[in-house]
Amino acid sequence: MWRAAVLVSFAALLCAQEPDLSGLDLIERIKIRAAENLAAQPNYTCHETIERSTRQPSAGTFRLRDTIQLEVALIQGRELFSRRGAEHFEDAKITDLVTEGTIANGNFALHARAVFLSQGPLFQYRGMTTWGGRSTHTFDYTVARELSGWEIKVDDQRGFVGYRGSFHVDAATLDLQDFTVETVDIPSNLRLRAARDRMEYQRVALGNSEFLLPRSSEMVVTAVNGIESRNRTLFHACRQYAGESVLTFDEAPEAPQN
């Protein structure tokens, strides 16, 4: 069975490219705003509902395969996963929990962090537009494979890919509204034609404050034979991580946080 795992490692993006001078001042302000939003986020967790579908090359519509329920958390800048109802998060990859079919991390936090908190991307300003009823600034970006932290595993083969995408930010607040990422420069050892993901954001109340969090994601992965796998993900029931669960990073569990 063909299997793809789309994994992101934020720490891999270290080197810098020469920026496009068009919109340079604006993108620096956007990156500062993104850093402020990310720094303000508390440790938090959300329910993650993933609807997985497939489509044959000759078919017009996707066919539902299954629905997966997980718990995802952002703890000290790391994405952690557990099965719904589990008593604690473990330092396990999402592929340890979902062992068949197409699955990915990154859409909860890491893709955005890789683009806005690193020096890897090359940005190009596309101007003002209206998106979701708001006046927004639109940017394209690219990240070369040698600077990329986006790793894809297909069956028993894995490799880092280059990627590109676009995003909208609110013209008044500079808050991120949506964000897309798609593969370019795929290594020849991967049996993969394309992978793309699109995330939308909203402000969510956590405790006594509101924070900019992901609302949904839609990822489509296309194999070399043309078969498409689509994961539609909804993040909901988000709440501040207050130590009611135990974070486990080793054999022995750590004590609950106060």
For 214-234, the pLDDT digits (tens) are: 899 999 999 999 999 999 999
With respect to residue 136, please indicate whether it lies within any of the assigned structural domains: yes
With respect to residue 232, please indicate whether it lies within any of the assigned structural domains: yes
Average confidence (pLDDT) over 52-64: 93
Instruction: Kindly give, in sequence order, each residue whose CB lies less than 8 Å from that of residue 101, ignoring residues fewer than 6 positions away.
Output: 1, 3, 52, 65, 66, 229
Name the band, by pLDDT with cuts 50, 70 and 90, for residue 242.
low
Does 110 have pLDDT greater than 70? yes
With respect to residue 196, please indicate whether it lies within any of the assigned structural domains: yes
Q: Average per-residue pLDDT in the chain?
A: 83
Specify the pLDDT at position 251: 41
Average confidence (pLDDT) over 153-170: 92
Burial track 167-197 (b if 16+ CB lie within 10 A, e otherwise): bbbbeeebbbbbbbbbbeebeeebebeebbb
The model's pTM = 0.81
Does 134 have pLDDT greater than 80? yes
Average confidence (pLDDT) over 77-97: 79
Specify the pLDDT at position 107: 64
Q: Which of 1-5, 83-87, 233-237 has the lowest mean pLDDT?
A: 1-5
Does 93 have pLDDT greater than 80? no
Specify the pLDDT at position 253: 40
Specify the pLDDT at position 43: 85
With respect to residue 92, please indicate whether it lies within any of the assigned structural domains: no
With respect to residue 93, please indicate whether it lies within any of the assigned structural domains: no
With respect to residue 155, please indicate whether it lies within any of the assigned structural domains: yes
> At 110, which amino acid appears?
L
Average confidence (pLDDT) over 113-134: 89
Average confidence (pLDDT) over 57-86: 87
Instruction: Kindly give, in sequence order, each residue whose CB lies less than 8 Å from that of residue 197, ignoring residues fewer than 6 positions away.
Output: 6, 104, 106, 107, 111, 180, 181, 182, 217, 218, 219, 220
With respect to residue 3, please indicate whether it lies within any of the assigned structural domains: no
**Residue 100 or residue 167, greater confidence:** 167
Tens of pLDDT, residues 22-53 = 577 899 999 999 988 888 888 888 999 999 99
Q: Which of 224, 253, 214, 228 is nearest to 74 (CA)?
A: 214
**Size of the chain, expressed as the number of residues it contains:** 258
Q: Which residues pair with 211 in a beta bridge?
A: 204
Q: Give the three-class secondary structure for 173.
A: coil
- Total of domains in the chain: 1
With respect to residue 230, please indicate whether it lies within any of the assigned structural domains: yes
Does 99 have pLDDT greater than 90? no
Structural domain including 29 reads 12-42+108-238
